[in-house]
Structure 1
Amino acid sequence: MKRRSLLLAALAAPLAVAGATFAPPAPAQAATWTSSDRWGSWNNGGYTLYNNVWGGGYGPQTIWANSYNNWGVWANHPNTGGIKSYPNVSYNLGRDVWNMGNVNSTANVTVPSGSGLAYNTAYDVWGNGHDHEIMIWTQWTSNVGPIGSYVSTVTLGGRRWRYYKGHNGGNHVYSFLAESQSTNMWVDITAHSQWLVSQNHMPRVRIDQIQFGWEITSSSGGRDFRVNSYSLNR
């Protein structure tokens, strides 16, 4: 599925890669499924894995998975502005926000570091199809930021989040950025969703897709992103 949100990024000058050819490193052990198709997808255990290279100016990207809770991508996107991809694991909940139950998630990820990187690790929760987008950022590089304007800081699920509200031209976007970033996380998705309604930031919607992955703007030279474990309790 094509992602429609935008990312604001102030990036350094592109790296000189003219004439260079990059290929994903050979895995130490063959994964159950791999795809270099920009729209590649795989169903496993009621979840769908998406390669989802949806933005312009993208480079090569390969997704691999052993299961919905153990997967990753190798991405080599140029050091230019604009989101190139949102590789993710997705589950369709399809419940009214006030009757969605106690939906929460845990994840442990390994992310790259160094120069030539711009990305965020984020949940993407959709309401009423793709009319309302709740983004929950747990970790990101310093050169990216959310859509819209800062509204307030709120405690949800025992953590402090900076809340931003905006619109990307296609849908409303509600972003929560963790005050303390982490690659080992627990997120109360119900608390975020219901808080938005209770504070009149978002109408009462049906919570549909719940996705988790990386919005990648730049990963010059080829970088690995890995989900070591993931659960969606619902």
Structure 2
Amino acid sequence: MGRHTRRATVTRLLLAPALAAGVAVGLTSAPAQAAVWSSCEQWGNTTLNGYTLYNNIWGSGAGSQCVSADSGTKWQVRADHPNTGGIKSYPNSKKVIGKPVDSLSSLKSSYNVTVPSAGDYNSSYDIWDTDYDYEIMLWVNHHGNVGPLGTPQGTVTRGGHTWNVYKGSNGHNEVFSFLRTSDSSAGTVDILPILKWIKNTKGWMGNETIGDVQFGYEISGSAGGLDFRTNSLTVSGS
């Protein structure tokens, strides 16, 4: 559905300083709540209790967006992006792992979110190797006019969930998308069996070193302003 013209991949991950054409930022105030950090800047970011938070407004035609955080694992976003198609932003919280798949004995995450009943978005993990050659997306819920990149690869049950799997490329890196077969607002994902299925069962990648494990919201449209809340998040790997 055209969503993965999404990647000026390394650019958005490395927080390129230049403003993307057509992006209007800083047009609203940060969400009104007690917070230790907030930002309405396009590339606003900070590190809190071992997690790095990004406002991350990266897509063309974006509107305004602000993130407000009590911690790296409890934060909210107010986004007002036009419903014009194409990913506008991926506000997220990131934990860096830094271990090859075969060296990991565990990689798990728990999430609890409150998402709107309107808009075009997904709530997803975005997992990268350190070279940014491979991207593994785990959609735990989605709403509206959004869809994964690539072609269907069937359904698999791994990591405590059942997923519809898609495989493709955005021109910068390979993308493996796992869409939960039913929406969830809270749960635990055992990520390592999913990575091993990609590596060992399918042979789609080698013994890559896993770098970023991000969790956030890919937002295509949220006209009028919508709230996305991460009530709690944990990422742990060893």
User: Residues 149 and 169 of structure 2 are in contact (CA less than 8 Å); yes or no, is this contact kept in structure 1?
Assistant: yes
Equivalent residue for 2:232, pick from 222, 229, 232:
229
Return 5+ residue gaps in structure 1 as ranges.
8-21
Match of 1:67 in 2: 71
Equivalent residue for 1:43, pick from 42, 47, 62:
47
User: Residues 94 and 215 of structure 2 are in contact (CA less than 8 Å); yes or no, is this contact kept in structure 1?
Assistant: yes
Q: Deviation string for 1:100-135 (max 9, x for gaps)?
A: 221110010001113xx1100000000132110000
User: Residues 100 and 207 of structure 1 are in contact (CA less than 8 Å); yes or no, is this contact kept in structure 2?
Assistant: no
Query: How many angstroms apart in 1 are the aligned matches of 2:232 and 2:204?
Result: 32
Q: Does 1:99 align with 2:109?
A: no
After TM superposition, list the pairs within 5 Å mapping 1:123-202 onto structure 2: 123-198=125-200, 199-202=202-205
TM-score, normalization by structure 1: 0.87
Give 1:143 deviation, angstroms.
1.9
Match of 1:79 in 2: 83
Query: How many angstroms apart in 1 are the aligned matches of 2:167 and 2:31?
Result: 41
**Deviating runs (4+, > 3 A) in structure 1?**
4-7, 22-26
Cα distance change, pair 33–172 in 1 and its aligned pair in 2 (3 A) = same
Give 1:52 deviation, angstroms.
0.4
Q: Does 1:207 align with 2:210?
A: yes
Cα distance change, pair 54–213 in 1 and its aligned pair in 2 (3 A) = same
Query: How many angstroms apart in 2 are the aligned matches of 1:25 and 1:129?
Result: 34
Query: How many angstroms apart in 2 are the aligned matches of 1:105 and 1:57?
Result: 32
User: Residues 122 and 214 of structure 1 are in contact (CA less than 8 Å); yes or no, is this contact kept in structure 2?
Assistant: yes
Query: How many angstroms apart in 1 are the aligned matches of 2:45 and 2:30?
Result: 21
Q: Deviation string for 1:172-214 (max 9, x for gaps)?
A: 0000011121011211111111110012122221101000000
Query: How many angstroms apart in 1 are the aligned matches of 2:115 and 2:31?
Result: 18
Return 5+ residue gaps in structure 2 as ranges.
7-26
TM-score, normalization by structure 2: 0.86
Query: How many angstroms apart in 2 are the aligned matches of 1:147 and 1:213?
Result: 18
Cα distance change, pair 137–6 in 1 and its aligned pair in 2 (3 A) = farther
User: Residues 40 and 65 of structure 2 are in contact (CA less than 8 Å); yes or no, is this contact kept in structure 1?
Assistant: yes
Cα distance change, pair 26–43 in 1 and its aligned pair in 2 (3 A) = closer
Give 1:69 deviation, angstroms.
1.2
Identity of aligned residues (%): 46
Query: How many angstroms apart in 2 are the aligned matches of 1:97 and 1:149?
Result: 25
Query: How many angstroms apart in 2 are the aligned matches of 1:25 and 1:90?
Result: 21
Q: Does 1:111 align with 2:115?
A: yes
